Amino acid sequence: MNQQDLTALLEQVKSGAVSIDEASEQIKRLPFDDLGFAKVDHHRALRVGYPEVIYCENKALPHIEGIVKNMLERGDENILATRASREVYETIKKVAPDAEYHELARIVTVKRTEVPMVPGTILIATAGTADIAVAEEAAVTAEMLGNPVQRVYDVGVAGIHRLLARMDVIRSANVVICVAGMEGALASVIGGMIDKPLIAVPTSVGYGSSFHGLSALLTMLNSCASGVGVVNIDNGFGAAYLASNINRINLHTEEQES
């Protein structure tokens, strides 16, 4: 249940279409459903604006199926499942035939309701082509949360002229997500040339001394460019969620000013 659902329910109580007892029963089930193996948080959309997201890696397939089924039964019309294999996708399709698999992003989505779009673009830049899988996790997540997304891929510092050719597009964005492995220098370069928030995502791309993304993480944490925030290694989802929150803050500010 989200804010709109709760408001509609209270309006129905006010009009007499729904009794107090019926409304009380619905509200009682708001916090979570205990499935034994999982406690599905149906209150999350009301608290934070977004429904619960399913992290699929290391979860048993029957558990994933049960969670999705429960969410659909409780009226969650849009579902986002991350770190999902094709096997997970086939499992979800048993209870949600309209599920869509974003293979590069490793995300399964069920989208039955259009999400209102937030003004302000989230731009996602990658240093190399090998970083695109993490970038696509961020892109698909941001789009599912109601954000316009632009992609500028393969503009790393090894050929910085490629980046400079796209700086007009990058500067026009409301929030920038920079995805880079190897030494992770791209975040500092972009961060020093824009006046918008930049969320850096280190990836586990690189040779031995990259330590599976640790080198890029430390570079980004030690960036001398101001306004750079860093999420965990390969965490495209976390970067997109944060970027979406920044976009929503700007939306609320515009609404208050108008």
C-alpha span between 54 and 99 (Å, rounded): 14
Of 146, 206, 203, 158, the C-alpha closest to 180 is 203
Kindly report whether the global pTM for this prediction surpasses the value 0.85.
Answer: no
pLDDT at 78: 86
pLDDT at 29: 62
C-alpha span between 229 and 198 (Å, rounded): 6
C-alpha span between 178 and 205 (Å, rounded): 14
List the chain pLDDT tens, one digit each, 258 residues. Answer: 555 666 776 777 778 777 877 776 666 666 666 677 877 777 677 677 777 889 999 999 999 999 898 888 877 778 899 999 999 999 999 999 999 999 999 999 998 888 878 888 999 999 999 999 999 999 999 999 999 999 999 999 989 999 999 999 999 999 999 999 999 899 999 999 999 999 999 999 999 999 999 999 999 999 988 889 999 999 999 999 999 999 888 665 555 555
Q: Select 122-253's CATH number: 2.60.120.330, 3.40.309.10, 3.30.465.10, 3.40.50.1970.
A: 3.40.50.1970
Burial class of residue 184, CB neighbours in 10 A (0-12, 13-18, 19+): buried
Question: How far lies 150's CA from each of 34, 140, 247, in Å?
Answer: 39, 11, 14
Extents of the domains making up the chain = 31-111, 122-253
Total Cβ atoms within 10 A of residue 225: 16
Q: Give strand pairing partners of 175.
A: 122
pLDDT at 7: 72
pLDDT at 122: 95
pLDDT at 213: 94
Of 48, 49, 47, 81, the C-alpha closest to 67 is 81
C-alpha span between 195 and 18 (Å, rounded): 50
Strands (DSSP E) found in the chain: 33-34, 39-40, 54-55, 78-82, 100-102, 107-111, 122-126, 149-152, 175-180, 198-202, 228-230
**CB–CB of 124/151 below 8 Å?**
yes
Q: Parallel, antiparallel, or unpaired: how do β-strands 149-152 and 122-126 relate?
A: parallel
C-alpha span between 58 and 35 (Å, rounded): 18
pLDDT at 102: 96
What SS3 class is residue 199? strand
